[in-house]
Amino acid sequence: MTVYLDTSVLVSLLHEDHHTVRVLEWAGHVDDLVLSTWTAIEFTSALSVQSRMKRLVDRDRRKLELDLDHWLSTRVVLDVMNSDIVAARRLVRNDVRLRAPDGIHLALAVRHGFVLATLDTDMAAVARDIGLTVIVP
C-alpha cells in the first residue's frame, strides 16, 4: 500500500508538535510513503509562517529544511502536472470545505491511486467523499 503524505503529516514527522509522537509511531509501520513537490513547498511555507510569527528561529528553520532535503532524497517525490491543477479546481468548485492547496493533494492521490494520510479533518472528509482511502495517523 502506497501512502501519499499531505503537508500536515510531513510537518509532524519532521517538526515536533502535538501530533508528532503519534505520527512517528504510525510512520514506523508504513513502508511506502510518497509525497509531492507541492508538499515540499507547503512545508517550507509553513516553516516561514512559524518564523515570521517568531515561533521558530532561523537556525531551526534552516535545520528543518536540511532535514526535509535529506528525507526527500530517500523518497519518491511526485511532480505536479497541469492536469492535477485542473482536477484540484474541479474538486474545490464542488466542495466548499476544500482549499486549493488541499485540492492539489487530493488530485495527486487520485491520479496515482494512493491512500491519503492527513491530519486535516475537512480534507479527510472530502477525500472519503470522492472515494479515497484515508488514514488519519
Using the structure block, give the residue that is written with the C-alpha cell 526527500. Answer: 72
Total residues belonging to the chain: 137
* pLDDT confidence tier of residue 10, bands split at 50, 70 and 90: very high
List, for residues 12-67, the tens digit of each pLDDT value. Answer: 999 999 999 999 999 999 989 999 999 999 999 999 999 999 999 999 999 999 99
pTM of the model: 0.94
Q: Which residues pair with 36 in a beta bridge?
A: 78
Tell me how far the alpha carbon of residue 134 is from its chain's centroid: 13
Rounded CA gap, 75 and 35, in Å?
Answer: 8
3-state DSSP call for residue 65? helix
The pLDDT assigned to 56 comes to: 93
List, for residues 73-93, the tens digit of each pLDDT value. Answer: 999 999 999 999 999 999 999
* pLDDT confidence tier of residue 101, bands split at 50, 70 and 90: very high
* pLDDT confidence tier of residue 120, bands split at 50, 70 and 90: very high
Q: Are strands 134-135 and 115-117 parallel, antiparallel or unpaired?
A: parallel
The pLDDT assigned to 13 comes to: 95
Q: What CATH number was assigned to the domain covering residues 2-135?
A: 3.40.50.1010
User: What is the residue extent of each domain of the chain?
Assistant: 2-135
The pLDDT assigned to 67 comes to: 96
Region 79-108: mean pLDDT is: 97
